[in-house]
Structure formats: C-alpha cells, structure tokens
C-alpha cells in the first residue's frame, strides 16, 4: 500500500527545460513536503505546503488539497538540479511521514 | 548546532559486525525520527522518539535493531550482527514538537560487506 505516489520515476531533461514532478497521496494530511536528495544521501527540505503555492528561486510547488495532488516545477533547469526529488506527507493522524519513492532527475547540458 | 548532524557519514561493516549510528538533533527539538532508505527506494520509517520516550518502534525490521535517546537529545541507532540487507542510508530527522518543520540530517550510508 503506497500512501504517496510520484511520477515520473525517472526524468531526463535538456538544460533550460521546464520540469514538472507530480505527487498524489491518499491520506488526510497536515502538510506536504518536497525534499531534494543528492548522491550520497543527504536530504534538503525544499518546501512545506499545506495549501496554495510557494516559490523559491526557480522552484515552484503547488498543492490541491481537494484533489490530494501536488506538483513541483523547476523553471530554466540546470545540470546542478540533477538529484532525486521526494514527496513526503505528514498525515493528520500518527507521527510519521509517508514518503514517495522519489523522482530521479538528470539535466543534461 | 545549526542543523541535524549524523555520524559517521559513511560506514562499511563486515557481515556480523555491530554498528552504532549517531544523530545529534537541533537543540530543543522534541521529536526525533529514524528512517531507512534502501538504494532506489523512498525512506521507510523505523522509529520515533518524543524526548527520551520511544513512542513508536513499529518500523524496526528485526530485534537486531535497537534505538535509544536516553537524555532526550542525542539518539543512537544500533544494529547488531549486521546483514547485507541492512545496507542502506539511515536518515535522522528532528522537529520541535509537531509534524511541521522537520529538519533532516545528511544521513549515514551503511554498507555491509
């Protein structure tokens, strides 16, 4: 049973392309997180959302609570954006996160 | 410190060896989680502490895994008699008190040979 589904699993883009990664979830949540993981395992928290839209530099995250769906967009992609992007949700009940399996992004110069 | 610190960053263990992984959460953070991430997979929940109390250990895969947080700050994840399937990145995350505002450590990559 996967509470969080991400798509695509793998994504290759040319430098400069606009990128979208999608996340759907099946539980009631208090927040949704987008995380970035570089080779070696370190995780960086990009966004935490409970509604609407957030923007940080070239990254934009949106969430539709009614549809239980979130998207992460990267504008003007760059090779340094290459990483695994993980969607995680904090459910309304319980104490733990549920994680998606991640989207592996490779941006080619 | 400014963030969640995990050590060692990398650990290679021979099969059957015991290992101890350390997590230093952000000072004052009440909640602390351990996650296991196998290669190509998303993180899987292992255990959760609120201060020194281990409130949920349902994700620990076997009795070879043991976690403690005796003073409600630093936590140690111990794996006894390591097996190859224990090879993974072990992530620690801490939070003030709620599911909001988690900070992740950089993880410890364990390789069992």
Other CB atoms within 10 Å distance of the CB of residue B56: 17
Model pLDDT for residues B46-102, shown as the tens digit of each residue: 999 999 999 889 899 999 999 999 999 999 999 999 999 999 999 999 887 655 567
Of A33, A48, A101, nearest to B41 by CB-CB distance is A101
Helix, strand and coil in chain B, % to nearest 5 = 5, 50, 50
Q: Does B70 touch chain A (CB under 8 A)?
A: no
When pLDDT is cut at 50, 70 and 90, the band that residue A24 belongs to is: very high
Position B2 pLDDT exceeds 80: no
The DSSP letter of residue B86 is G
Computed on alpha carbons and rounded to an integer, the radius of gyration of chain B in Å comes to 13
Residue A99 forms contact with B (CB below 8 Å)? yes
Place of tokens 């008699």: B81
Distance from the A41 Cα atom to the nearest Cα atom in chain B, whole angstroms: 6
Q: Looking at the predicted structure, is the pLDDT value of residue A97 above 90?
A: no
3-state secondary structure (DSSP) of residue B46: strand
């Amino acid at each position: 049973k996967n509470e969080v589904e991400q798509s695509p699993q793998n994504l290759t883009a040319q430098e400069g392309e606009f990128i979208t990664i999608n996340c759907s979830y099946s539980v009631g949540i208090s927040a949704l997180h987008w995380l970035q993981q570089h080779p070696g395992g370190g995780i960086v928290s990009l966004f935490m959302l409970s509604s609407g839209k957030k923007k940080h530099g070239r990254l934009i995250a949106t969430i539709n609570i009614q549809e239980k769906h979130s998207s992460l967009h990267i504008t003007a992609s760059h090779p340094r954006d290459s990483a695994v992007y993980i969607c995680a949700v904090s459910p309304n009940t319980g104490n733990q996160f549920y994680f998606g399996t991640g989207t592996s992004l490779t941006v080619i110069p | 410190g400014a963030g969640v610190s995990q050590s060692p960053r990398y650990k290679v263990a021979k099969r059957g060896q015991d290992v101890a992984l350390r997590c230093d959460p952000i000072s004052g953070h009440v909640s602390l989680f351990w996650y296991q991430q196998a290669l190509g997979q998303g993180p899987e929940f292992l255990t959760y502490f609120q201060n020194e109390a281990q409130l949920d250990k349902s994700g620990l895969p076997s009795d070879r895994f043991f976690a403690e947080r005796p003073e409600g700050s630093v936590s140690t994840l111990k794996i006894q008699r390591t097996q190859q399937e224990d090879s993974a990145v072990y992530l620690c995350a801490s939070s003030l008190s709620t599911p909001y505002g988690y900070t992740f450590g950089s993880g410890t990559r364990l390789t069992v040979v």
